[in-house]
Amino acid sequence: MIFFHEGQILYTYLHIAADKPQAQALLAKKVKAVAYETITSPEGGLPCLTPMSEIAGRLATQEGGAKYLEKPFGGRGVLLGGVPGVKRGNVVIIGGGIVGLNACKMAVGLGANVTVLDISASRLAFYDDLFDSRVTTLFSNRTNLIKCIKEADLVIGAVLIPGAAAPKLISKEDLKLMKKNSVIVDVAIDQGGCFETSKATYHDNPTFVVNDVLHYCVANMPGAVSLTSTLALTATTLRHGLNIANKGLEKALADDKHLLNGLNTYDGKLTNEAVAISLDIPFEPVAFN
Amino acid sequence: MIFFHEGQILYTYLHIAADKPQAQALLAKKVKAVAYETITSPEGGLPCLTPMSEIAGRLATQEGGAKYLEKPFGGRGVLLGGVPGVKRGNVVIIGGGIVGLNACKMAVGLGANVTVLDISASRLAFYDDLFDSRVTTLFSNRTNLIKCIKEADLVIGAVLIPGAAAPKLISKEDLKLMKKNSVIVDVAIDQGGCFETSKATYHDNPTFVVNDVLHYCVANMPGAVSLTSTLALTATTLRHGLNIANKGLEKALADDKHLLNGLNTYDGKLTNEAVAISLDIPFEPVAFN
Amino acid sequence: MIFFHEGQILYTYLHIAADKPQAQALLAKKVKAVAYETITSPEGGLPCLTPMSEIAGRLATQEGGAKYLEKPFGGRGVLLGGVPGVKRGNVVIIGGGIVGLNACKMAVGLGANVTVLDISASRLAFYDDLFDSRVTTLFSNRTNLIKCIKEADLVIGAVLIPGAAAPKLISKEDLKLMKKNSVIVDVAIDQGGCFETSKATYHDNPTFVVNDVLHYCVANMPGAVSLTSTLALTATTLRHGLNIANKGLEKALADDKHLLNGLNTYDGKLTNEAVAISLDIPFEPVAFN
Amino acid sequence: MIFFHEGQILYTYLHIAADKPQAQALLAKKVKAVAYETITSPEGGLPCLTPMSEIAGRLATQEGGAKYLEKPFGGRGVLLGGVPGVKRGNVVIIGGGIVGLNACKMAVGLGANVTVLDISASRLAFYDDLFDSRVTTLFSNRTNLIKCIKEADLVIGAVLIPGAAAPKLISKEDLKLMKKNSVIVDVAIDQGGCFETSKATYHDNPTFVVNDVLHYCVANMPGAVSLTSTLALTATTLRHGLNIANKGLEKALADDKHLLNGLNTYDGKLTNEAVAISLDIPFEPVAFN
Amino acid sequence: MIFFHEGQILYTYLHIAADKPQAQALLAKKVKAVAYETITSPEGGLPCLTPMSEIAGRLATQEGGAKYLEKPFGGRGVLLGGVPGVKRGNVVIIGGGIVGLNACKMAVGLGANVTVLDISASRLAFYDDLFDSRVTTLFSNRTNLIKCIKEADLVIGAVLIPGAAAPKLISKEDLKLMKKNSVIVDVAIDQGGCFETSKATYHDNPTFVVNDVLHYCVANMPGAVSLTSTLALTATTLRHGLNIANKGLEKALADDKHLLNGLNTYDGKLTNEAVAISLDIPFEPVAFN
Amino acid sequence: MIFFHEGQILYTYLHIAADKPQAQALLAKKVKAVAYETITSPEGGLPCLTPMSEIAGRLATQEGGAKYLEKPFGGRGVLLGGVPGVKRGNVVIIGGGIVGLNACKMAVGLGANVTVLDISASRLAFYDDLFDSRVTTLFSNRTNLIKCIKEADLVIGAVLIPGAAAPKLISKEDLKLMKKNSVIVDVAIDQGGCFETSKATYHDNPTFVVNDVLHYCVANMPGAVSLTSTLALTATTLRHGLNIANKGLEKALADDKHLLNGLNTYDGKLTNEAVAISLDIPFEPVAFN
């Protein structure tokens, strides 16, 4: 249980959309809470989430392919890039967004045989532009997915439906089609995961096995590379933080609508519409000037 | 039947190692015959054969992948590079020499999923240096070959054992494992071919079907791109030709041991050792100064 | 003549904008006709046309460069990529859209000397990002065009003015400036072609010669790679098809405005504005809920 | 202690050059011992060692960079490739042979800032050809080494002096110049290691810390990817193994001088000159026919 | 002083936003003035400025790195790409827009060790897509900037704040942290420069030295490659020019709103809003039809 | 005139093969002279010449293409890489050795349209491997040369015949075929140059014009990047220098035959065979142990 001071300013990751008790506590204490995850940017997107997605995507390949596929860690004992004369490992990436793109870059870099599935034709065309013949792109549908996981050494779940639980694309039963000691990394675990069998784990015991498939489902993957993650995050959050400190919160919110988008609670009001809808609490916008 | 003039100078492709009647005619007529195919170069290799191998290799992918895989030409109707979202065609190249390398460059260029098999680990490492994750390299053995042809849309036979008949790596029976309407290009057809079912064809009727597999076995592939082939060949042969014309044959041979290596018959003597052995005719070296 | 059933649902390519009799038949029979070619996507663009453009673009290089430039097919006998020491073939691509981009990827992949012309500076900058020194980009104007076709072995017409006839950029007279037995592929043939001398051909007799220049003007190019084309198309159309089947057409249209954009005729009304204007038939929008 | 049968045939890795008791046992029992590590190939090199060096090199980057640099494993918490906006990790590879090349490929693939040091200018030029601006090459000397390790996140020791102990290039004292929690991987550990502080470790406890620098010194690195390693090794050793089985050892040795180079002991004689010198046992060559 | 004719049409670069006397003269003479720099394009952006930015960016690397870093020109005597075994030059590019991108392409092409700083994470991600491990991307902040210039051989200032003076990112004092005889190129000199010590120079005496740092601040960089610049500019301006000539100015303006955006003065009215604001002169829009 | 001390040790570039007076002085004074330029290496080649060739090659593109092609320096005003929409500059490199390779890397890097001519097919195949479609390779003959220089903006002469004067490939008359204000860089100037009109120049006045073609013929090109050159040279020469200092010259020569190859004069004897032949002075080998 977290205790808040009356009227305090909070500037951090909140993730209260699925945490009503915490939201209610913030409202009760009239906390002025700016949530990293809902701050927007002039270029679109959620600038405080993007670097964490980039890191998680890159780590997904490293964790799954360069660590847990190794025999001493319980994997198949496959080197992703193979060596000349020996087959390369098959990496299947489900979802071609920021996480998938970064996972793909690392998998291609390690020399793996990479397949990316997505439902967006234009996103797959972007992969074709960037990676040409180094990646196979496939429309994501049940037929293609099942074909792919049968051959996979490493499957990375990188499916994101903004503001919704991730769809369960691979069932417990499907795992039986996979190779023994192959590896799954579920980067969508924050949103419930895209494998039926996923459940969140931590860095001190990151994996478990279901139907002979190793699961890596660490929710806070970027914590593994804390130095890189800290630099990436502060580069994004510092500017707003300095503005809040220098100008005062209200003036900072008045000057920058993207920061205002980050405001989740203020003076007992729930000020972010999406969060309000998700929590079924009345949405009360505030304005500053 | 070709008629030779007594003592004439012949400077061209001869290929008499397997053509005893022609060899005997050359000897009988005391023809001074320099064969392109046995001329050597200071850098090693057979400089008048190399460009033809490069062209044949590049054409192998074009003929097999960009032409005969098309539906109207009898193939599977597969686009080698696929398009974003649709699987790329599988190209299997047996033999990683000059022919294989050039076939591979074109197949990678067209976006295919390429596998190269060779028995030389260091040659496969060279592919790994050049193509990194754009090509899968495999040691050539029966197990790997059979796995590969089952998945192949296009198989290119580029096996070369210098001075010997090409080994028959794929039997007629093996073809049944292949996909219906897949394509085989046998670049080793000059040396008998590396598929059991290969038989030489010509540009005016270049293909035939065995066990539902389309065979392209044109012996003189470079003839299809006659302009390019002529430029490549004359760039290599012209220098020696001018020397023969300007200096006289004997002086030209005296000045350049690589041209001398090209001399097959002279004054009724068979002057090239390998050809002599192959024809079981006494080898009689000649010297000029 | 196609006969329609009264009130039937039609879900396919229609292309009635230039086919008034067919449009009138659809209206008369109150056909509920959804045309692939006017369905839109959330990401913009026409998702059922894009894969066909990608395939046609890639094929344009294959057909023109890897087939009809060959001597036995009537071309100059030039290998697009040349070989070391011999000049590469010149490929000129007019229009840098989806067709041009895919033609360019294949031409670069085959090692050709590629020039792309477009009137959009930002599109050319995109080519510079993607291909760096492997492609020459030129502003498309008469001077540059004429300079280019004089040197070309293969010219690919990939000009698209959405919803309009393609401009005739190269006249019959201009062809006399081109090299004898060079090749033209007109991918804009669907819209009348961008060469004055183009006329639609079919896979069974795909080429003809005007002023010593070989013309390839097959209107249905993707048909040559039917397997790839079918997979690409169904990946795009299946989802809507299932929705129509499962929900009924009206509910499917109500749920998805992009499908609604595909509706061309309904209950005797012409429901697509652009098609209506083109046919000079009154536009009568319909709504569902 | 290993017990040998009188006169048995042994075909495996022996490594007796530094193990006199085992050598003497082999001689006493008149074992016919063919050692993988001294078999040669027509292309030069030691074909049974090369794939293990390739695997060890690739793993060196994976182990050091993608695993032990992570915070939970004791490292600095640095992601080798960084993310856009955040500095990439520095990888320093000492020695540009097969191990170094493969480590370099993986480090470049992961997006690291890579420096390779070697004493051979022509080897560094080869890196420049292969990696252009993606790698910094430096002459290996004390000045450059010290500058490099000060900035390094990961140092890979890949120094090989054939048939000799690896030179100790980095002393225990030097480690104090390195960043806290940086990582060292010593691939030369088989030959004593190229860091003063290295000592061989095993997969079940692979690392230790000296002067705040994490050391990874597993002697049998390829064991971590046992499937890949087994395929790579058998592809190389199977052919000779079959020959020994099918022809008998003596005939196989008579037919292939490269296998004969692998013969270390035969009928109580030490038959490999380098091993003999190293063990100070008389060299007694044998011949077969 | 420029004299205008009463009511004349002017179609050229004007840059009057900071030049009130000229603006007033244009108004007084009722000049119909279309300014290249405010013409827009359907694709967004300022099409007559973009090619000049591309050229200036590419030249920035050439001038700074390939010319003034040379010893005879006063620089450090460093070859940007180094040679195998010798450290590459460090190029720091401040600002990742069009100028920065083109400077970066050339610097990577010359083999330099390149760092790009920008405040936009998504722009840096674009660099990561395009250049992968060939460029280091850093968030632009004071800490990163100072670290970078300390190591730099060449610093390129490519900062652009549209319609505003460039920020002074590097002070005269900061220069003391830089290496002696390093080089600065200030491409933002048109907008006042982004180095405190910058002042505009000309091609006949392009450089000066402050605190041992060579400054190159030529305002009209594209003039150095006049042929390329002319072709690039006329490709962009010719079309509008022909329209003005053929249709008359008013009709041309009526037909094309992007040309209309270029109109700065007309009939004594200041017709461009941004220019009006900047000059504090009333904005009087005009319309044509 | 250089004065030598009796019996002194000299370790530097000598270049006495064409300088008999200096050779005689060295012999008369019994100077023990080791010449950098004749030291060999275990890997073949002349290790003290290679880095200077690499630097000169890279500089050739920089000097010619990135400096003297500019208008203010007298050139055509062409930007080598062009910009999107505008033709790239044509760079012709005659000779594909070390100089040519490094010139080519820089020219490709700057985005030029590059053609490399060489008489060796296998060398051109190496370029094809390394640069694929980014470079056109042509056999070097009169026809190809003339075609190339007509189109060239920059011609780099990089012809090397070891131990002989460079052939004059381009005559004064040929220059008239070239474009006005195009640029020639003659890297073979040390050996007399490969253009008839070349004569050695210095950094303080590096260019001159003949037949409207700008000539850059600085003999000591690496001097322009003195820092890089010094590092490259000392990395190569230091090891031998230390051996001479630590062991004494005679012991150092006895221990290393590659250093011994560098010995040109010793105790009044001319000890290098090639130099002796060139100078027509008796060759008197010496041995040490």
Tens-digit pLDDT profile for residues D132-190: 999 999 999 999 999 999 999 999 999 977 666 788 999 999 999 999 999 999 999 98
Q: Is the pLDDT of residue F20 over 80?
A: yes
Tens-digit pLDDT profile for residues B234-287: 988 998 999 999 999 999 999 999 999 999 999 999 999 988 988 899 999 999
Distance in angstroms (rounded) separating the CA atoms of residues B280 and E78:
65
User: At CB < 8 A and 24+ separation, what contacts does E20-24 make?
Assistant: E20/E279, E20/E281, E23/E264, E23/E265, E23/E270, E23/E275, E23/E279, E23/E281
Token pair 């089985």 is at which residue? D245
Confidence of residue F160 (pLDDT cuts 50, 70, 90): confident
Which pLDDT does position E44 carry in this prediction? 78
Instruction: Specify whether the backbone of F148 is left (phi greater than 0), alpha (psi in -120 to 50) or beta.
Output: alpha
Residues 34-73 of chain F with CB under 8 A from chain C are none
The two beta strands, A263-266 and A269-270, are: antiparallel
For D120, which of F43, F51, F54 is closest by C-beta distance?
F43
Task: Give mean pLDDT, residues E103-126.
Answer: 96
Do B235 and F141 count as a contact with CB atoms less than 8 A apart? yes
Tokens of A137: 């792109």
Per-residue CA distances from E91 to D89, E69, E86 (Å) = 18, 11, 16
Q: Is the pLDDT of residue E162 over 70?
A: no
Question: Residue C12: helix, strand or coil by DSSP?
Answer: strand
Confidence of residue D93 (pLDDT cuts 50, 70, 90): very high
Q: Is the pLDDT of residue B163 over 80?
A: no
- Of the listed B15, B174, B215, B256, which one is catalytic? B15
Q: Using a CB–CB cutoff of 8 Å, tell me whether C132 touches chain F.
A: yes
Q: Which stretches of B87-178 are assigned E, i.e. beta strand? A: 90-94, 113-118, 135-139, 154-157
Which pLDDT does position D42 carry in this prediction? 84
Residues 224-263 of chain B with CB under 8 A from chain D are none
Task: Give mean pLDDT, residues A47-76.
Answer: 93
Tens-digit pLDDT profile for residues C139-182: 999 999 999 999 999 999 999 776 667 899 999 999 999 999 99
Contact by Cβ (8 Å): A142, A167: no
Confidence of residue D2 (pLDDT cuts 50, 70, 90): low
E240 is catalytic: no
Which pLDDT does position C172 carry in this prediction? 97
Q: What is the dihedral of CA B157, B162, B163, B169, to 10 degrees?
A: -30
Which pLDDT does position E163 carry in this prediction? 62
Query: Which pTM was predicted?
Result: 0.94
Q: How many CA atoms lie within 13 A of C104 on its CB side?
A: 29
Q: What is the dihedral of CA E216, F221, E228, C168, to 10 degrees?
A: -150
Do C236 and A121 count as a contact with CB atoms less than 8 A apart? yes
Which pLDDT does position D289 carry in this prediction? 83
Q: Determine D/C contact with 3+ CB pairs under 8 A as the test.
A: no
Number of Cβ pairs < 8 A linking chain E and chain F? 133
How many residues does this entry show for chain C?
Answer: 289
Which pLDDT does position F46 carry in this prediction? 87
**Between D35 and F166, residue with greater pLDDT:** D35
- CB contacts of E45 in chain C (<8 Å) are 122
- Of the listed E153, E190, E215, E280, which one is catalytic? E190
Q: Using a CB–CB cutoff of 8 Å, tell me whether A180 touches chain D.
A: no
Task: Give mean pLDDT, residues E94-112.
Answer: 97
For B122, which of D43, D130, D238 is closest by C-beta distance?
D43
Which pLDDT does position D30 carry in this prediction? 96
Tens-digit pLDDT profile for residues A230-253: 999 998 899 999 999 999 999 999
Q: Using a CB–CB cutoff of 8 Å, tell me whether C143 touches chain F.
A: no
Distance in angstroms (rounded) separating the CA atoms of residues B184 and B203:
16
Contact by Cβ (8 Å): E53, E162: no
Tens-digit pLDDT profile for residues F211-253: 999 999 998 999 999 999 999 999 889 989 999 999 999 999 9
Which pLDDT does position B2 carry in this prediction? 63
The full 3-state SS of F250-269, as one line of letters, equals HHHHHHCHHHHCCEEEECCE
> How confident is the prediction for chain E on average, in pLDDT?
93
Token pair 């009511």 is at which residue? E7
Q: Using a CB–CB cutoff of 8 Å, tell me whether C127 touches chain F.
A: yes
Contact by Cβ (8 Å): D198, D186: yes
- CB contacts of C151 in chain F (<8 Å) are none
Tokens of C271: 């429901």
Task: Give mean pLDDT, residues D109-119.
Answer: 97
Do E130 and C129 count as a contact with CB atoms less than 8 A apart? yes
Do E132 and A105 count as a contact with CB atoms less than 8 A apart? yes
Q: Is the pLDDT of residue E180 over 70?
A: yes
Number of Cβ pairs < 8 A linking chain C and chain E? 21
Which pLDDT does position E211 carry in this prediction? 97
Contact by Cβ (8 Å): D108, A109: yes
Contact by Cβ (8 Å): C157, C94: yes
Tokens of A217: 């489902």
Contact by Cβ (8 Å): D253, D244: no
Which pLDDT does position F115 carry in this prediction? 98
Q: Determine A/F contact with 3+ CB pairs under 8 A as the test.
A: no
Q: Is the pLDDT of residue D198 over 60?
A: yes
Confidence of residue A111 (pLDDT cuts 50, 70, 90): very high
Distance in angstroms (rounded) separating the CA atoms of residues E225 and F82:
10
Q: What are phi and psi of D67, to 5 degrees?
A: -135, -65
Write down the ipTM of this complex.
Answer: 0.91
Q: What percent of chain C shows pLDDT beyond 70?
A: 98
Q: At what angle do helices A50-63 and A226-247 cross, to 10 degrees?
A: 170
For A125, which of B84, B88, B136 is closest by C-beta distance?
B84
Q: How far is D119 from chain E (nearest CA, A)?
A: 9
F15 is catalytic: yes
